[in-house]
Chain A
Amino acid sequence: MARLIRMDGTGHTTLAQWTAADDARFAGAVEEFRSAQQLGYIGTVPEGPGQATHVRELPREADLVIMRRPIAGG
């Protein structure tokens, strides 16, 4: 089952879970994804060692999507 998680003050929070075949649960996950985006979070899909992709829409086939805060020079 795919997961949408948000990194936050609790470590991380699972916002939604879905399977590619379950349209209703995926639609709910898309809602959560967009809500997090509106709060300033950025969607990232880890893709194995050394690779990750920035996503603007929730990918149905992804196993894990992580919402992270923007970074900036310190």
Chain B
Amino acid sequence: MAAEQALPELASVPWRRRTDARWLLRWGRIWQAWTLLYSVPFLAAGAAMLWLAPIAAPVALIAIAHAWIIPELYAFRGASVTRPKGPRNERAEHVAQGLLADLLGHDERELQRRTGLALERGELGVWLVGEAGALLVTPGARRVHCFCVRTAEPELPPSDRVAHLLLALRVDEEGFATVANHAFAGAPWRVRRRMPQPMRPALGAARHAAR
């Protein structure tokens, strides 16, 4: 890739390998294996306790609850990258919203106004860009990667924060994914149920676009 097309921020993370489709596929599988690794033992322990000593049912239920709660906490962490963060800066938001709208197509603009997330089609999949993070729905819509990434200027209005991330993503998609911190990978339904209600239609639209 020519230096002019690479994201300048890559210079701040020289130790990271460039995030491409293969990296995402491998990382998605690792997350899947990891989820099984910390869920199945709790389920097995719970089932074994019920079978061997039904009197231990309360403890078995606690073990089974762990098998449910821990994956939920990870999914919550992933979905949290889309949550609005920082000051709202209401006075400047109207101006910032206008600039962001100019960067988006008609349908994406309407979706962003309703949900706060900007949908962007890329080579790696379909992105949903928020104020302080982004979701990537991979082709086929079977997996979502959650990235924590933000601009360092906290006083920016929310739409400017989205525009910052959107422009960086458009300059260099793989570079954007490399600079961002990977927070979670999993099935879309796991992320969706932990997203704020008004944002959920954006994930539906991204899944539809990624199919």
Residues on A lying within 8 angstroms of B by beta carbon are 5, 7-12, 42, 44, 46, 49-56, 66, 68-74
Q: Specify the chain B residue showing the minimal Cβ separation from A44.
A: B167
A74 near B89 (CB under 8 angstroms)? no
Distance, CA A67 to CA B151, complexed state (A): 13
Contact of B150 among A8, A46, A54, A74 (CB under 8 A): A74
Distance, CA A52 to CA B176, complexed state (A): 13
Q: Specify the chain B residue showing the minimal Cβ separation from A70.
A: B9
Q: What are 17 A-to-B residue pairs whose CB atoms are below 8 Å?
A: A7-B160, A9-B156, A11-B93, A11-B98, A50-B122, A54-B4, A54-B7, A54-B8, A68-B164, A70-B12, A71-B150, A71-B168, A71-B176, A73-B149, A74-B132, A74-B149, A74-B181
B121 near A7 (CB under 8 angstroms)? no
Contact of A51 among B148, B150, B170 (CB under 8 A): B170
Chain A residue numbers with a CB within 8 Å of B180 are 71, 73-74
Chain A residue numbers with a CB within 8 Å of B121 are 50
Q: Specify the chain A residue showing the minimal Cβ separation from B92.
A: A11
Q: Specify the chain A residue showing the minimal Cβ separation from B133.
A: A74
Q: Specify the chain A residue showing the minimal Cβ separation from B4.
A: A54
User: What distance in Å separates the Cβ of B155 from its nearest Cβ neighbour in chain A?
Assistant: 4
Contact A49/B9 with A12-B95, A44-B167, A69-B151 known, Cβ cut-off 8 Å: no
B170 near A71 (CB under 8 angstroms)? no
Check if B105 is an interface residue, CB within 8 A of chain A.
yes
Chain A residue numbers with a CB within 8 Å of B170 are 46, 50-52
Chain B residue numbers with a CB within 8 Å of A73 are 13, 147-149, 179-181
User: What distance in Å separates the Cβ of A49 from its nearest Cβ neighbour in chain B?
Assistant: 6
Distance, CA A47 to CA B140, complexed state (A): 28
Distance, CA A52 to CA B129, complexed state (A): 16
